[in-house]
Amino acid sequence: MTKRRWGLLVVGLAAIITALAVGYGLYTGVAKRDGLLARGNSVAIIKFDGNITDATVTPNRGRQENLLALLKRAGRESSVKAVVLRVNSPGGSAAAAQELYDEVGRLRQRGKPVVAYLTDMAASGGYYVASAADRIVSQPATITGSIGVIITSTDIQGLEDKIGIRQRVIKSGPYKDILSSRNDLTPEEQDILNTIVQQTLNQFVTAVAKGRNLPEDQVRQIADGRIITGIEAQRLHLVDEVGGQERAVELAAQLAKLPPEPHVVVFEPSKPGGLVGLLGSLTGELPGNAMLERLDSGGVRYEWRGS
């Protein structure tokens, strides 16, 4: 390649970089003017969607932030003064739910009020986590409750006999295959599993009673696994009031002594940053580490924030 061509290539690259920098500067200038990049006192909305599994609370080598990481980040960021936990979960792992419950409690200990907002479903472990919040707002038709514990196994011994399959089992103790699909439970095995279920249920009931400031006996009366609507949950004092997300944000702002129409950030899993994120911001594909989109809703400003 001739020197002339090299020179043209360098000039062209410099022009592209300059254009990108100017465009980004103009964009962020507008964003700053409109308050989109402000780091003042904010209410953070954290989305809690799907089943509760170990992945919900276990770091996944930096690829994306899970729910526990988002809760911790809300606790660290000084601009976040309150949190709305937007719950849409049928439950899942009891141990993972307990860890999330404890993390919500730590947020409150930091002086950051938490309002749980129940959407389509906040049942079983989903409600377990929500009960740790200062207040709970639910849609009238939300499916919630389901305070209970379940262990299941499938008995396929009849099918195995029918098609001529036999399993050979070598085990270290009589109860090692307690949830095997090849045989009925013995009375002793039933007792073992019942003990596990009751112990876990007791932890669930205690957590809800503590979070909702209710007598344990009162919680135990409805801890039979039943699902209920948000309206019924309010009557049973499992929910403070019925309403939507804006009411949850308003309530969180009140608890944090913020203005009635606070600045709101939405915490979501990380997305590409760097040059990819910069190009995305200029083409409308929003990077997770920028606050680049605004929704006007009753004067409340929403922005999206990644890591």
Q: Which residues carry out catalysis?
A: 124, 176
Instruction: Give the β-pairing of 42-49 and 296-297.
Output: unpaired
**Cβ–Cβ < 8 Å for 52, 126:** yes
Distances in Å between the alpha carbon of 229 and those of 72, 119, 140, 238, 297? 30, 11, 6, 11, 27
Record the tokens describing residue 254, joined without a space: 């009140």
Q: How far apart are CA 4 and CA 79, in angstroms?
A: 52
H-helix or E-strand containing 143? strand 143-145
Q: How far apart are CA 160 and CA 182, in angstroms?
A: 8
Q: How far apart are CA 81 and CA 255, in angstroms?
A: 9
Exposure string (b/e) for 275-284, b if CB count within 10 Å is 16 or more?
A: eebbebbeee
Exposure string (b/e) for 84-114, b if CB count within 10 Å is 16 or more?
A: bbbbbbbbbbbebbbbbbebbbebbeeebbb
**Cβ–Cβ < 8 Å for 304, 292:** yes
Residue 298 exposure: Cα atoms within 13 Å on the Cβ side: 11
SS3 10: helix
